[in-house]
Chains A and B, each alone.
Chain A
Amino acid sequence: MGRPKAGLAWHGSTFLYRTSALLGRAVDGPVVVVAAPGQTLPGLPDGVAVVQDPVEGLGPMQGVAAGLAAVADRAEIAFVCSTDMPFLHPAFVRRVLRGMDDTKADMLLPFARGFRQPLAAGYRTSLAGLITTLIGEGDLRPGMLFKHCEVVQFDDAQLLDDSALKRFDPELESVVNVNTPEDYATALGRRPPTVVVERFGALAGKDGHRPTEIEAATLGAAADAVGLTLDRHVVAAVNGDQVYRDAKLPLVTGDSVAFLSADAGG
């Protein structure tokens, strides 16, 4: 690309912000970003931690090891991905993690769109030490783990054996990377995801509480589309779960956004 991918803009956010915030939406545990030595990162969502990759130039598996080690005291399994995945869908993350739970494997490796996807995969956090050892022995390849631990591979059909993923990401575009300027131009040319918006209470206006489809890649864009501004009086719940005020929060296809008055109660 010729420039750091983490800071590349995509529909009102950056690759890094979008990816880390989407992970935050998809998992219950911590989200960690691994930065290269001396790397300056663009802004991150609240609650996302940064750990430094201790050694430069050892490739992505070094970063994977650092990330797994950083969360090993709080989580047994982790979803690991690169930052340049603008179409990542939380349903893909959940599918992979559910596969980890179901198979009890050390690693769940998607074989999606014709390729192994070690940077969109599930790992047992206890693998951090093994990866570090293998790197120390000079093996830097992403496939190095396969001989040393139990790896379960899921093909497209297995991945899509999940109703939410099949519905919202049937082409498994979650694993699409942006590696070239052409890839980036293509990504920028994509329409924002289609989401359903509802406004409640005093925010609704006439008929506003009825569901409406709009295109929006972030919560702020969704608010704009219905004439609202997120502030101390206006918040939004995504898919009936967490409540947010973060205008940069990424949205994905199939999301349902409920705008609420923050002045709850009575």
Chain B
Amino acid sequence: MEAYSLHMAPGGFFARALIVDVDGETATGMPFELDERVLRAYLGGVGLGTWLMHRLAPPRVDPLAPEAPLAFVFSSLVGTPLTTSAKFAVVAKSPLTGLLTDALASSQFAIAGKLTGHDAIVIRGRATQLSVLLIDAAGVRLEPAPELAGLPASEAETQARERFGRGWRTAAIGPAGERQVRYATISHDGRHAGRGGLGAVLGAKNIKAVLVRSGTKVSVADQAGVLAAAKDLRKRSFGPATAKYRELGTLANLLAFNAVSTLPTRNFTAATFEGAPKLAAEELHEMRGVARNSCASCSIGCEHIYSRKGGGSQRMEYENVFALGPLCGVSDPDDVFAASARCDELGLDTISAGGTIAWAMECVERGLIDEPWLRFGDGTALLRALDAIGDRSPGLGELLAQGSRAAAGIVGHGSIDFAPQVKGLELPGYEPRSLQSMALGLAVNARGADHNRSGAYEADLSGDVNRFAGGAAHVAAAIGTEDRAAVMDSMILCKFLRGVFEDPFTEWARLLSLVTGWDMDDGELRRAAQRIVRAKRAFNLREGATAADDTLPARMLTTPLELASGRTATLTADRLRSMITSYYVARGFDEAGRVITTDLPDLLLEA
């Protein structure tokens, strides 16, 4: 039985959000009560953020308009000793896709933000001048901060702390966010809520940084049980399922993906890269000084920070190396380090930046863009392009600041066919033709081409399916991973923990029960996962998405991929459409990919 109380917050929750309305030079906060049915149905994080967007985003709102809401959403696990739980979701309508976007980040901002006494902080409106927004248990205030203009997020954080004192935790944007580059990020303690242009949404509100400070406490239902579970989970987090992340970090993917022809190279014209060994974690570990770091409350420690020639250091992940390295044909690690650092300084999503520049490089090769210096393999050109984007300089910078889909719309001449995007979001580093479960996951995902909301590559690389021939097993795998992601992103736990759970839904239900006091089981959690996936799709449909958006770039569906072995991998439009149709059926959508009417009450959109 899914029992709930309307009067008391369940463990781990405050049962209220804070709506902050920014208007000119002031900001006001207003509590927004969250029914326990909603909290239980959506869990928190991405799930709750999706529900909030349904309720608070005006239909068809311009994502950069003052009335477009931006939500920082926490969860019941934030603040508990459970490893990797210091995470939060940032949710808004994306200026890059025009659809729902959500991004997760790990930092002390999560704990401080929640301990302002809210399960979510939603920001609307626009300041007259560049400002910072401060929120704690005492209330909300807006402070002008023109001196922060043009600063990287990290420097803005430092200056804001100096100005407002210790105890504040910061989410800030870089220059790209201020200039509303459509794939600008929001940074927190050097990490990013990266995808979909959330930094542009905050920038459009003229808010350089949001500062939060703890002011209250939150209780859990079973303190002793949570402590015991935390101890157990921490111990398991040191096992073989996380070894890859601990020992080499996500960059360990690069050489392995190259070996199995799934490393997107030169704007997806190849899946192996001759320069991969120079960029590989294995090589960098031998050749460079390396340090490890952890997010707040994390026992895995996946961050690997490499020394740079000439001084300094840079955190490197698979996705930024893939996007700024092989995808742009760049093989000099120092060029890739410099490009990653530049993205951090500007506040740019590295995947979208790399994808958009790689597309532009191909356009130059084809004579569609007249910038002859912008060539595959040229690290100096890569940096120059990033600066142009960050500045939104007239011409190329302005064009590429829109993302590859919109830029292709301007350039024309069929360039949309090789724009590496789905629904406007640039593809991550997984070649769809040689990972056909992932191909489906990328095509149907609500956020667009995304590897964190659909990790279907797991099935392709598990040995359980033929990764070159998508079919029924691939559909089931894609749905399974999408459901698991929906729960992990909502409760919230880091996905790098996923391999330590033998029976994920059962174990996650137990963790949530200990924290909240709810008597949850795996079945309820599976229903929650399906509900969250449906709610995301329902939001996108409301905003104008159709089944036609569930696809891949034409290049993937018309051009066979040459594998290192000499074979070719082919993904036809018919095969993809067949998988999508099966996905719709299995998800309970109609033939046009719509959530059926009888499922809508379950979404609690009127609650």
Tell yes or no: A198 within 8 A of B by CB: yes
Tell yes or no: B577 within 8 A of A by CB: no
Task: Name the one of A28, A200, A243, A266 contacting B462, with C-beta atoms under 8 angstroms.
Answer: A243
Chain B neighbourhood of A258, CB < 8 A: 256, 259-260
One of B20-28, B199-207, B208-216, B238-246 contacting the partner = B238-246
B495 near A233: Cβ-Cβ < 8 Å: no
A235 near B462: Cβ-Cβ < 8 Å: yes
Tell yes or no: B317 within 8 A of A by CB: yes
Produce 1/0 per residue, A165-205, CB < 8 A to B.
Answer: 00000000000000000000000000000000010111010
Tell yes or no: B476 within 8 A of A by CB: no
Residue of A nearest to B246 (CB): A202
Tell yes or no: B469 within 8 A of A by CB: yes
Query: How many B residues touch the partner, as a band?
Result: 35 or more
A240 near B244: Cβ-Cβ < 8 Å: no
CA distance A105 to B319 in the complex (A): 49
A242 near B461: Cβ-Cβ < 8 Å: no
CA distance A237 to B280 in the complex (A): 18
One of B10-18, B180-188, B353-361, B451-459 contacting the partner = B451-459
CA distance A238 to B457 in the complex (A): 17
B245 near A266: Cβ-Cβ < 8 Å: yes
A202 near B248: Cβ-Cβ < 8 Å: yes
Instruction: Select the residue from B245, B280, B563 with max chain A CB neighbours within 10 A.
Output: B245
Tell yes or no: B467 within 8 A of A by CB: yes
Residue of A nearest to B457 (CB): A264
B462 near A245: Cβ-Cβ < 8 Å: yes
Chain A neighbourhood of B242, CB < 8 A: 263
Residue of A nearest to B460 (CB): A243
Chain A neighbourhood of B253, CB < 8 A: 201, 264-266
Chain A neighbourhood of B261, CB < 8 A: 240-241
Tell yes or no: B567 within 8 A of A by CB: yes
A201 near B495: Cβ-Cβ < 8 Å: no
Tell yes or no: A83 within 8 A of B by CB: no
A233-B240, A239-B565 are known contacts. Are A202 and B256 too (CB-CB below 8 A)? no
CA distance A266 to B463 in the complex (A): 19
B499 near A200: Cβ-Cβ < 8 Å: no
Residue of B nearest to A237 (CB): B260
Task: Name the one of B244, B318, B455 contacting A202, with C-beta atoms under 8 angstroms.
Answer: B244
A235 near B463: Cβ-Cβ < 8 Å: yes
A266 near B241: Cβ-Cβ < 8 Å: no
CA distance A196 to B198 in the complex (A): 47
Produce 1/0 per residue, A204-236, CB < 8 A to B.
Answer: 100001000000000000000000000011011
Residue of B nearest to A206 (CB): B286
Residue of B nearest to A266 (CB): B250
Tell yes or no: B443 within 8 A of A by CB: no
CA distance A201 to B565 in the complex (A): 21
B282 near A209: Cβ-Cβ < 8 Å: yes
Tell yes or no: B247 within 8 A of A by CB: yes
Tell yes or no: A246 within 8 A of B by CB: yes
A240 near B259: Cβ-Cβ < 8 Å: yes
CA distance A232 to B239 in the complex (A): 13
B247 near A237: Cβ-Cβ < 8 Å: no
Chain A neighbourhood of B240, CB < 8 A: 233
Produce 1/0 per residue, B560-584, CB < 8 A to A.
Answer: 0001110100000000000000000
Chain A neighbourhood of B563, CB < 8 A: 240-241
Tell yes or no: A261 within 8 A of B by CB: yes
7 tightest A-B CB contacts, nearest first: A266-B250, A201-B252, A245-B463, A200-B256, A202-B243, A258-B259, A202-B247
Other 13 A-B pairs with CB < 8 A, given A239-B565, A240-B565, A261-B243 = A200-B252, A204-B282, A209-B255, A236-B463, A240-B272, A241-B260, A242-B466, A258-B260, A262-B458, A262-B462, A263-B244, A263-B245, A266-B245
Which B residues form the contact surface with A (CB < 8 A)?
240-250, 252-253, 255-256, 259-261, 272, 280-282, 302, 317-319, 451, 455, 457-458, 460-464, 466-469, 495-496, 499, 563-565, 567
A-B contact pairs, 19 of them (CB 8 A): A28-B469, A200-B255, A202-B243, A209-B280, A240-B565, A241-B565, A243-B260, A244-B463, A246-B463, A258-B260, A261-B252, A262-B463, A263-B244, A265-B451, A265-B457, A266-B249, A266-B302, A266-B317, A266-B496
